[in-house]
């Protein structure tokens, strides 16, 4: 065993270092500056202590000092570390690619769509290798983390190192609290964000929002939408069967409208396209729909556009599409149209 070849204190120190590097991991896509190397972002992340790791190790040491080290204590600590890692990964992906904070109860619904997009709905050789890699990698990573946690907790129980480790954890907590008290609006210089604390805060916010009442909330919004639609002077029969195309520009529209240089170029292109369509006998109209989401959640934006009801997340979108609220295709069907939805590569929705 490796633990027989090195002193206990050195094994504990190396294990804590590995755990720290794991919980403070940063990813290459997080940098807003393309010139910033991944190594620089990595060093910035590693320079901050993980409060989750501090709390988990302190709790594990307290329990181990009281009842002795048990295997389930190590696995519980590893479970907390893995949860912090997964939350950190989700937060990094959503913030970098969608430009919005990571919300667990909302963004977890994007996993099936992400799987369909990455695999192209086919279980080819590349996908098989990826699945095998994940299946084999998860237990290996878990075993490595468990070995490190066990080394720390067992080493702490067998010597006075446990007491000093608890004192160090308490010192980090007190220092972070004093720094936050002095400047609550400023990011800490030595402690990173807590993923476990954010999980609890999001759970509290989710329960306060009462998502189980989404049907009642959307029913009222649908009623208000129908009242507003009744006041609009529309008559689809007046189109006399002319073809109607509704085209979504996806998030490219968001990027164009947020950047003045791109917006100006797009406006010139749009005028040219409208001229070409007019010469072909078509009339056209363009608009920018402000969506509550960005990237990876087109379903919410499309459903909001088709129903005229404001939606905030996947849960509300699913409730809305399973209700009897009228949507744009129904109005066209009632006017004698045959409606067709085309969504390349992705599974069909609304």
Q: What is the 3-state secondary structure (H, E, C) of 58-85?
A: HHHHHHHHHHCCCHHHHHHHHHHHHHHH
List the one residue out of 8, 5, 6 whose CA is nearest residue 69.
8
Q: 58 and 183: one domain? A: yes
**Per-residue model confidence as pLDDT tens digits over 97-152:** 666 777 777 777 666 666 665 565 566 677 777 778 878 888 999 999 999 888 88
Secondary structure element (H or E) that encloses residue 291, with its range? none
Any domain includes 350: no
Q: Is the distance from CB of 189 to CB of 178 less than 8 angstroms?
A: no
Q: 133 and 21: one domain? A: yes
Q: What distances in angstroms separate CA 107 from CA 113, 143, 279, one per listed residue?
A: 11, 28, 44
Q: 190 and 218: one domain? A: no
Any domain includes 162: yes
Last residue of a domain, one of 208, 229, 263: 208
Any domain includes 76: yes
Q: How many domains does the chain have?
A: 2
**Per-residue model confidence as pLDDT tens digits over 45-102:** 667 778 888 888 888 888 888 888 888 999 999 999 998 888 888 888 777 766 677 7
At a CB cut-off of 8 Å and minimum separation 6, what does 18 contact?
Answer: 144, 148
Residue 44 structural domain: 2-208
Q: What is the predicted pLDDT for the residue at 34?
A: 46
Q: Is the distance from CB of 156 to CB of 61 less than 8 angstroms?
A: yes
């Amino acid at each position: 065993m490796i633990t027989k070849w090195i002193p206990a204190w050195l094994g504990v120190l190396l294990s804590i270092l590995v755990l720290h590097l794991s919980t403070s991991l940063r990813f290459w896509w997080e940098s807003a500056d393309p010139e910033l190397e991944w190594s620089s972002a990595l060093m910035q992340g590693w320079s901050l202590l993980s409060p989750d790791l501090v709390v988990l190790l302190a709790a594990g040491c307290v329990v181990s000092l009281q009842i002795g080290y048990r295997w389930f204590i190590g696995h519980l600590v590893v479970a907390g570390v893995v949860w912090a890692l997964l939350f950190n990964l989700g937060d990094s992906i959503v913030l970098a690619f969608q430009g919005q904070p990571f919300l667990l109860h909302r963004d977890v619904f994007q996993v099936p769509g992400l799987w369909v997009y990455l695999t192209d709905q086919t279980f080819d050789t590349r996908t098989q290798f990826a699945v095998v890699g994940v299946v084999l990698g998860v237990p290996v990573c878990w075993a490595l983390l468990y070995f490190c946690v066990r080394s720390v907790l067992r080493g702490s129980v067998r010597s006075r190192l446990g007491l000093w480790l608890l004192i160090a954890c308490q010192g980090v907590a007190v220092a972070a609290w004093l720094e936050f008290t002095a400047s609550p609006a400023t990011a800490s210089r030595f402690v990173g964000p807590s993923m476990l604390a954010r999980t609890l805060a999001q759970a509290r916010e989710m329960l306060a929002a009462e998502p189980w009442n989404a049907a009642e909330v959307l029913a009222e919004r649908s009623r208000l939408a129908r009242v507003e639609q009744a006041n609009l002077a529309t008559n689809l029969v007046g189109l006399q069967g002319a073809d109607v195309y509704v085209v979504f520009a996806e998030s490219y529209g968001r990027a164009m409208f947020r950047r003045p240089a791109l917006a100006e170029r797009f406006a010139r292109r749009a005028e040219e396209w409208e001229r070409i369509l007019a010469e072909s006998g078509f009339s056209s109209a363009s608009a920018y729909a402000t969506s509550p989401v960005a990237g990876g959640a087109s379903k919410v934006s499309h459903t909001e556009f088709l129903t005229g009801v404001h939606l905030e997340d996947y849960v509300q979108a699913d409730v809305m599409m399973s209700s009897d609220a009228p949507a744009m295709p129904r109005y066209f069907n009632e006017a004698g149209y045959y409606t067709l939805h085309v969504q390349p590569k992705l599974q069909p929705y609304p």
